[in-house]
Amino acid sequence: MTDPAEIDVTIVDGYVDEPAHFGVPPYISTYPRYTAGALVDAGVPEERITYHTIDALRDDGSRWRDVEDADLLIYVGGMTVPGNYVGGTPAEPDEVRRIAWTAEGVSMIGGPVRFGVGEANEGASETARDDLDFDFMAMADVEAAAYDLVHNGLEGFEDRYRGVPEETRWAKQGAFVVEQHPNHPEYILAELETSRGCPYRCSFCTEPMYGDPDFRPPESVVDEVAALADHGVSDFRLGRQADILAYGGDGEAPNPDALRELYSGIREVAPDLDTFHLDNMNPITVVKWPELAREGIRIIAEHNTPGDTAAFGLESADPLVQDENNLNVSAEECFQAVKIVNEEAGFRPGGDPDSAPNFGDDAAPQLPKLLPGINLVHGLKGERSETFEHNKQFLQRVYDEGLMLRRVNIRQVMAFEGTDMADTGAEIANDHKQQFKQYKREVRETIDNPMLQRVAPPGTVLPDVHLEYHEDGYTFGRQLGTYPLLVGIPGERDLGRIIDVAVTGHGYRSVSGVPYPLDLNAASMDELTEIPGIGDQTAGNIVVDRPHESVGEIAPDAALERFVAETSEKSAD
């Protein structure tokens, strides 16, 4: 019998992206944390547990020795929605196979990869179940499998789901593993689970495979946050649930009291947190129980940090597609939900909540507290040419009615075994690919760009932007949070720095900006000409006439005061 105290374990994180769970850096999902906690609970000492991300293995070949030498190698990963990623690159099937082939000890694979594996993480694709050459594949909870495998002397386990008591223990006991993440401590955001499962059965979604919602009590989540905070985490997202408004209730109706206990409890144990966001909110919950939903949304906006996004799964505004795919919300219902979130949480810090949604020249220079985002999926059963028009008309109506969306996600379906889309597969998506590309471009031009100007007008301040990469003479970075804006800043700056940025211009899904507050006596020409109203001549005059004692003496009509320090003569030399 293998003694757990003598086992060396390596956990490799290939990243996850599910309908209600995200774990691509700077996010860290629950899977590696809970798996580490389960191992500790089973008797494996913390010091014998090593954690690597797939990117860390790519960057440092010596880390593969930990894969090779481990008595137990556990791979967690799996992408069940398509996406494009900046902070990390999810593992490809060949890389996962290499992990299995390299491991000389017992190897196990788990996470959403159990639903299927595609050749690439992209829409309009089909998947197949594949063990990728591991000794064991966890077809239920990988953390429960890890616990049982260790208890059984590494000889096997029965697939099962863990219960809330186990989850509560493992979430706390596994918090230590965040310290081994390459982004720790400053650029890591912990995904938090409040529930799994969904009462609805949309044709393409893997979340119903977890069953009906099963909620963690507030104290379980709060204790996890406290443990993560003790290990240096200050950024959190309640992202692991199908519907945050349904938390603590019957699975469908809102429970404001449970939300209040959850949100206030997190704030109490992590008073110095930097980010507190959420992800999924079901629009049908908002329109079926509007007053309870409004109260819940107000509670969220009271405790969260600005720039938060409630992802709405409209999926399609076409009634035919809605019917054939068992989608639970109509375009009209989704519109009403968008309106309610705007009214209750579309205000900006320093702005008037009673006049929400706040935007325009008089709006406070921060992102709104909470806005809806719209998810649209293409390639579903019943899709036709008119489907694309229905979706565009819905989005245009939201804009024309003076409301705000934080972002619009447009994807093509990934078909997984066990969902109703398995028989249809990617056939419809592939047939409509050309129309899909044209439609997506139109939405980016006619909706995304003007909407982004409404959400983050010039002068909007984005605190704590983490600088990530260089491209075409710009440095790009993001804040931590749900769907953070990609920000391009002129010049090549030291990566890894954290700076505040004021927005100067807009793309389709990104913005340009300058460091805030900008020092006129030190700013470059490129920085100065990024500011709206400042051309080459004015920028040249600013540089030639340095030092300056005040903003007003330079270009009083250019609204410079939104971007620069009021006085900056101390930096003249």
Q: Summarize pLDDT for 281-313 with one digit per residue, the tens.
A: 999 999 999 999 999 999 999 999 999 999 999
Residue 101 clears pLDDT 70, i.e. is over it: yes
Residues in contact with 80: Cβ distance below 8 Å, sequence separation at least 6, in sequence order: 17, 18, 19, 112, 115, 116, 206, 414, 416
DSSP label at residue 195: E
CA 162 vs CA 74, 101, 400: distances in Å: 17, 29, 47
Q: For residue 554, what pLDDT is reported?
A: 74
For residue 463, what are its two tokens? 């605190």
Strands 510-515 and 498-506 come out as: antiparallel
Given a contact cutoff of 8 angstroms between Cβ atoms, the answer to whether 137 and 114 are in contact is yes
Band (pLDDT 50/70/90 cuts) for residue 419 is: confident
Quick check: helix, strand or coil at residue 397? Answer: helix
Q: For residue 110, what pLDDT is reported?
A: 95
Q: For residue 37, what pLDDT is reported?
A: 98
- Please name which of 276, 178, 170, 192 lies closest in space to residue 233, comparing C-alpha atoms: 178
Alpha-carbon span 131 to 518, nearest angstrom: 54
Among the four given CATH numbers 2.30.110.10, 1.10.10.10, 2.40.50.140, 1.20.58.100, the one describing domain 460-562: 2.40.50.140
Q: For residue 569, what pLDDT is reported?
A: 43
Q: For residue 557, what pLDDT is reported?
A: 57
Alpha-carbon span 10 to 5, nearest angstrom: 14
Neighbouring CB atoms inside 10 A of 273's CB total: 17
CA 468 vs CA 26, 287, 512: distances in Å: 11, 40, 14
Quick check: helix, strand or coil at residue 464? Answer: strand
Residues in contact with 339: Cβ distance below 8 Å, sequence separation at least 6, in sequence order: 401, 403
For the domain spanning 1-187, the CATH number is 3.40.50
Q: What separation, in Å, do the N-terminal and C-terminal C-alpha atoms of the chain show?
A: 72
- Please name which of 500, 503, 493, 508 lies closest in space to residue 448, comparing C-alpha atoms: 508
- Structure-token match 């507190």, residue found: 276
Band (pLDDT 50/70/90 cuts) for residue 326 is: confident
SS3 assignment for 312-356: EEEECCCHHHHHHCCCCCCHHHHHHHHHHHHHHHCCCCCCCHHHC
Q: For residue 571, what pLDDT is reported?
A: 39
DSSP label at residue 72: E
Mean pLDDT of 506-532: 94
- CATH 3.40.50 boundaries in the chain: 1-187
Burial track 348-367 (b if 16+ CB lie within 10 A, e otherwise): beebebeebbbbeeebbbbb
pLDDT digits (tens, 9 = 90+) for 11-52: 999 999 988 889 999 999 999 999 999 999 999 999 999 999
Mean pLDDT of 531-549: 89
Residue 126 clears pLDDT 50, i.e. is over it: no
Q: For residue 565, what pLDDT is reported?
A: 65
Residue 98 clears pLDDT 60, i.e. is over it: yes
Mean pLDDT of 179-199: 93
Band (pLDDT 50/70/90 cuts) for residue 566 is: low
Alpha-carbon span 231 to 176, nearest angstrom: 6
Q: For residue 550, what pLDDT is reported?
A: 79
Given a contact cutoff of 8 angstroms between Cβ atoms, the answer to whether 54 and 15 are in contact is yes
Query: How deeply is 191 buried, as exposed, middle or buried, from its count of CB atoms within 10 A (0-12, 13-18, 19+)?
Result: buried
- Lowest mean pLDDT: which of 41-45, 61-65, 240-244? 240-244
Alpha-carbon span 557 to 190, nearest angstrom: 44
Q: For residue 125, what pLDDT is reported?
A: 41
- Lowest mean pLDDT: which of 6-10, 200-204, 390-394, 463-467? 200-204
CA 470 vs CA 72, 76, 479, 494, 529: distances in Å: 39, 30, 16, 9, 19
pTM over 0.85: yes
Q: For residue 556, what pLDDT is reported?
A: 58
pLDDT digits (tens, 9 = 90+) for 476-495: 999 999 999 999 999 999 99
Question: Which is more confident, 425 or 341?
Answer: 341
Alpha-carbon span 189 to 278, nearest angstrom: 12
Question: Which is more confident, 292 or 118?
Answer: 292
pLDDT digits (tens, 9 = 90+) for 139-151: 999 999 999 999 9
Quick check: helix, strand or coil at residue 409? Answer: strand
Mean pLDDT of 104-114: 93
Band (pLDDT 50/70/90 cuts) for residue 228 is: very high
Would you say the C-alpha torsion 278, 282, 285, 291 has a positive or negative sign?
A: positive
Alpha-carbon span 1 to 148, nearest angstrom: 14
Q: In degrees, to the nearest 5, what angle opens at C-alpha 357 toward C-alphas 354 and 359?
A: 120
For residue 52, what are its two tokens? 């690597």
Given a contact cutoff of 8 angstroms between Cβ atoms, the answer to whether 224 and 171 are in contact is yes
Band (pLDDT 50/70/90 cuts) for residue 103 is: very high
Question: Which is more confident, 209 or 450?
Answer: 450
The pLDDT mean for the chain works out to 91
Question: Which is more confident, 24 or 83?
Answer: 24
pLDDT digits (tens, 9 = 90+) for 329-341: 999 999 999 999 9
Among the four given CATH numbers 3.20.20.70, 3.80.30.20, 3.30.230.10, 3.40.1260.10, the one describing domain 193-455: 3.80.30.20
Residues in contact with 318: Cβ distance below 8 Å, sequence separation at least 6, in sequence order: 382, 383, 384, 386, 387, 390, 391
Q: For residue 124, what pLDDT is reported?
A: 42
Radius of gyration, alpha carbons of the chain: 24
Residue 68 clears pLDDT 90, i.e. is over it: yes
- CATH 3.80.30.20 boundaries in the chain: 193-455
Residue 467 clears pLDDT 60, i.e. is over it: yes
Instruction: Give the distance, in angstroms, between the CA of residue 242 and the centroid of all CA atoms in the same chain.
Output: 14
Q: For residue 123, what pLDDT is reported?
A: 41
Q: For residue 573, what pLDDT is reported?
A: 37
Quick check: helix, strand or coil at residue 135? Answer: coil
Residues in contact with 359: Cβ distance below 8 Å, sequence separation at least 6, in sequence order: 404, 454, 455, 457
Given a contact cutoff of 8 angstroms between Cβ atoms, the answer to whether 381 and 325 are in contact is yes
